[in-house]
Chain A
Amino acid sequence: MVSRMFVGIFLICLSALLAFGGGQQEKQQTETGEKVVLTVWADSFFTPKWQGRQGPVLDAVWRDFEAKENVKLELQLVPYPDFQAKLLTALSAGNPPDVAIADQYWLASMVNTGGVEDIGAAWPQRDREDFFNWSVEGVMVEGKVYGIWYSTDARVLYFRKDILAEKGFMEPPKTWQELYGAAQKLNSTDQYGLGMVLSGEGGMCTLLIDYWSLDGGLVDSKGKPAFNSGANKEALTKIFEFDKMLYDEKLIPSDSVTYMSENDMNPRIFAGGYAMFFGGGWQIGNIQDNMNPQAAAQWDIHLRPQPAGGKPSSLAGGFDLNVFVSDPVKKDKAVKFIRHLSDPVNGAKFAAASRGLPVRKSVYQTDSFFSTDPYMIKYGQILPYAKTRPNSVIYPIISDSVMKAMGEYISGEKSIEQALSDAEKRVLTQQ
């Protein structure tokens, strides 16, 4: 009787497995006239499945494409933290999706693994000119075009207008000197003068803005690390010292060394714990969603304060659309799909709903939202100053090493000289 129950359960499981447990389909060659199926990998934020504003917007956009081109889009949600590893694993096994919406700085590693399709031929030059320069360069590796930049974010200074005004600051700080002074005055028991990220990729992005402001370069023309010599090294030294000063004087919370992405600052931001912070474009969306409207409206943005002798600078991150399928029929549809997503109308719709930033210059002039929303207008002005992280295979190692060096210096473990030289060694051995 017990055994019978057991056998019963087993048979049910077996049939359930047979019904639901099937494995991957063989890659099929498409016949003309038959509906093309495209597999799309993306993290939920970029898909119709997102439980927020852009969900329904994207749903309409995707369905529109499916109807127009007689294509079925098979979406597969991938968890963001392991997305890059998953893509690379799939690529190296020859089993990638047809299309992916990937974080921009993964491109170099994907191209190196092989399998990313060159779509230059299908993307007219005329259209390319509508994009910011850096966004076109950002999808190119060794002269070939491997995708289309979909949406971007810019790293900027966020500040509370009301709090600054209370302490007599009518304008946000524009230089390091002013920043330091303002942070000191704004620091109180309830609130930190400044918030920033000091580790991980977010920390590197924060650092790079100052680094580029001082004309620093990470890799030389041969692809070797160049940060530990000459003017580059001086620039890094200045940045390290400034950040350490902020940390030691408690103008930024000591937690900052554990933050790896700007989002880590969100709980404190929403609770009113910062007067200013270095954040990303998308955070205005987070703020508007999570804070009450009056408080949210007090946040404003500006270019990051520059070091003495530096120039205006920002960093553009974001996601691009890549195609991996080589079958001509499918590839054609895939490219049409990514062009559909990133065309002036749809791209703008997505950006508006998700509070991302469009990469097309024209959108800032013509779109009703982006040409009138006060934040977006400012972003439109800041973006031309932005640069993107280099499309180099060793970039992740450099990023990790430099951040590690910064951590070692801030904690007092090593001198800048020692930390940077160790960082360079690490990059060279790990290549």
Chain B
Amino acid sequence: MAVNKENVLRNIFTYFLFIAVVLAAFIPILWIIITSLKRTIDIFSYPPVIIPVRPAFENYLKIFKLAEMSRTFLNSIIVATSTTVSVILLSSLAAYGFSRFRFKEKGVLMLILLGTQMIPAVTNIIPLYITMLRLHLLDSLTALLLIYAALNIPFSVWILKSYLDSIPISIDEAAMIDGANRLYIIFRIIFPLCLPGIAAASLFVFIQCWNEFYLALVLTSTLKSRTIPLGLFTFQASYDIQWNLLSAASVVAMLPIILLFIILQESFVSGLTKGAFKG
């Protein structure tokens, strides 16, 4: 890189702007964390309390011990994990099919898959409610799993297919010459090569399931199948909003995903590349 005064100045400016933007982006998050540590009486004081004099750590205890958050948490983890696993399984098979075979319906089918993403989620709520009712699956994590899987498969298929497209078919051919059957090829050879793509798709699906609110609202009612977004509403009632507890619960709700992201970090980004986006 040519190093001259112009470049250096421009770089400094860029970094400065960049830091400012990141800091600004962090402020709402900071505010939520701060609020989560406030006592009720500090929430609305003016001038605004930036650092609580006595941090109310007990808020975090309250939300778990007394407000059923542990079960909600467990439910969200179960739903998100099982959905992610099922989606990856089904999508990788489908992605393989799309990538490795040539057939005339291919374009149409992919369009249909992507088309389902354009349907506003709220449209399907009533028919889905009635269907789940008839299947006796209302108020169950299974119902959520089924629907979330259906909603997330198209996008995962798309990511994985792009990723697979960049893995040369010669690998498949070499393995087949060696006498391996297709399934073996997929799981033992191709799959491991796809880990970054799988990591990427997994993270997306997990986040979608973790945050989804409306379908969960309509299809579940009791604690046994309540997920985190609904659990938060315990603190936002008809006559009062308990901001501090709500914030604490939100902080707790964010942690697993952040953890997951840190684990998947490196493999994640490279998963979306690999020549998948070449023109």
Chain A residues within CB distance 8 Å of chain B: 2-3, 6, 9-10, 13-14, 16-17, 20-24, 26, 41, 43-45, 49-52, 55, 74, 76-82, 86, 89-90, 93, 95, 97, 103, 153, 263, 266-267, 270-272, 282, 285-286, 289-292, 319, 354, 356
Q: Give the chain A neighbours of B41 by CB distance below 8 A.
A: 289-292
A211, B187: Cα distance in complex, Å: 72
The digit string for B125-146, where 1 denotes a CB below 8 A from any CB of A, is 0100110110111111111010
Q: Which parts of B144-199 form the interface with A (CB within 8 Å)?
A: 145, 187-188, 191-192, 195
Tell me if B139 and A24 are in contact (CB < 8 A).
yes
Given A22-B224, A45-B238, A79-B230, CB of A13 within 8 Å of CB of B85: yes
Tell me if A95 and B133 are in contact (CB < 8 A).
yes
The digit string for B201-227, where 1 denotes a CB below 8 A from any CB of A, is 000000000000000011001111110
Q: Which parts of B230-245 form the interface with A (CB within 8 Å)?
A: 230, 233-242, 245
A377, B48: Cα distance in complex, Å: 35
Q: Which 6 A-B pairs have the closest CB atoms?
A: A79-B233, A270-B44, A21-B141, A13-B82, A45-B237, A271-B46
Tell me if A43 and B237 are in contact (CB < 8 A).
yes
Tell me if A9 and B217 are in contact (CB < 8 A).
no
Question: At the interface with chain A, which of B73-81, B101-109, B271-279?
Answer: B73-81
Q: Give the chain B neighbours of A20 by CB distance below 8 A.
A: 74-75, 78, 141, 224-225
Chain B residues within CB distance 8 Å of chain A: 40-41, 43-46, 62, 66-68, 74-75, 78, 81-82, 85-86, 88-89, 126, 129-130, 132-133, 135-143, 145, 187-188, 191-192, 195, 217-218, 221-226, 230, 233-242, 245
Given A86-B218, A263-B241, CB of A289 within 8 Å of CB of B140: no
Q: Give the chain A neighbours of B136 by CB distance below 8 A.
A: 23-24, 26
Q: Separation in Å of the B181 CB from the closest CB of chain A?
A: 15
Tell me if B240 and A9 are in contact (CB < 8 A).
no
A97, B139: Cα distance in complex, Å: 12
Q: Give the chain B neighbours of A272 by CB distance below 8 A.
A: 46
Q: List 8 A-B contacts (CB under 8 A).
A: A13-B81, A17-B78, A17-B145, A44-B234, A52-B242, A93-B129, A289-B240, A292-B41
Q: Separation in Å of the A171 CB from the closest CB of chain B?
A: 28
Residue of A nearest to B47 (CB): A271
A50, B238: Cα distance in complex, Å: 12
A113, B190: Cα distance in complex, Å: 55
Q: Give the chain A neighbours of B62 by CB distance below 8 A.
A: 51
Q: Give the chain A neighbours of B187 by CB distance below 8 A.
A: 3
Tell me if B44 and A86 are in contact (CB < 8 A).
no
Tell me if A10 and B192 are in contact (CB < 8 A).
no
Q: Separation in Å of the B267 CB from the closest CB of chain A?
A: 12
* Contact for B85 among A6, A81, A266, A289, CB less than 8 A: A6
Q: Give the chain A neighbours of B225 by CB distance below 8 A.
A: 20-21
Q: Give the chain B neighbours of A76 by CB distance below 8 A.
A: 221-223
* Contact for A282 among B140, B141, B239, B245, CB less than 8 A: B239
Tell me if A80 and B217 are in contact (CB < 8 A).
no
* Contact for A290 among B40, B222, B245, CB less than 8 A: B40
Q: Give the chain B neighbours of A17 by CB distance below 8 A.
A: 78, 82, 141-142, 145
A205, B31: Cα distance in complex, Å: 33
Given A49-B66, A82-B217, CB of A23 within 8 Å of CB of B139: yes
A247, B191: Cα distance in complex, Å: 65
A282, B245: Cα distance in complex, Å: 20
Q: Give the chain A neighbours of B86 by CB distance below 8 A.
A: 10
A90, B220: Cα distance in complex, Å: 11
A429, B234: Cα distance in complex, Å: 37
Residue of A nearest to B132 (CB): A23
Q: Separation in Å of the B249 CB from the closest CB of chain A?
A: 11
Q: Give the chain B neighbours of A356 by CB distance below 8 A.
A: 239
Residue of A nearest to B83 (CB): A13
A50, B237: Cα distance in complex, Å: 9
A10, B88: Cα distance in complex, Å: 11
Q: Give the chain B neighbours of A319 by CB distance below 8 A.
A: 238
* Contact for A21 among B145, B239, B241, CB less than 8 A: B145
Given A17-B142, A267-B44, CB of A3 within 8 Å of CB of B188: yes
A401, B78: Cα distance in complex, Å: 44
A224, B130: Cα distance in complex, Å: 33
Q: Other CB < 8 Å A-B pairs besides A10-B89, A43-B238, 11 of them?
A: A3-B191, A20-B224, A51-B62, A77-B234, A82-B217, A153-B239, A270-B43, A272-B46, A286-B239, A290-B40, A354-B239
Q: Give the chain B neighbours of A16 by CB distance below 8 A.
A: 78, 82
Given A23-B137, A76-B223, CB of A44 within 8 Å of CB of B40: no
Q: Give the chain A neighbours of B135 by CB distance below 8 A.
A: 23
A55, B139: Cα distance in complex, Å: 25
Q: Separation in Å of the A94 CB from the closest CB of chain B?
A: 8
Tell me if A13 and B78 are in contact (CB < 8 A).
yes
Given A13-B78, A17-B145, CB of A80 within 8 Å of CB of B237: yes
Given A49-B66, A74-B222, CB of A80 within 8 Å of CB of B236: yes
Q: Separation in Å of the A29 CB from the closest CB of chain B?
A: 17
Residue of A nearest to B229 (CB): A79
Q: Give the chain A neighbours of B78 by CB distance below 8 A.
A: 13, 16-17, 20-21
Tell me if A49 and B85 are in contact (CB < 8 A).
no
Tell me if B237 and A44 are in contact (CB < 8 A).
yes
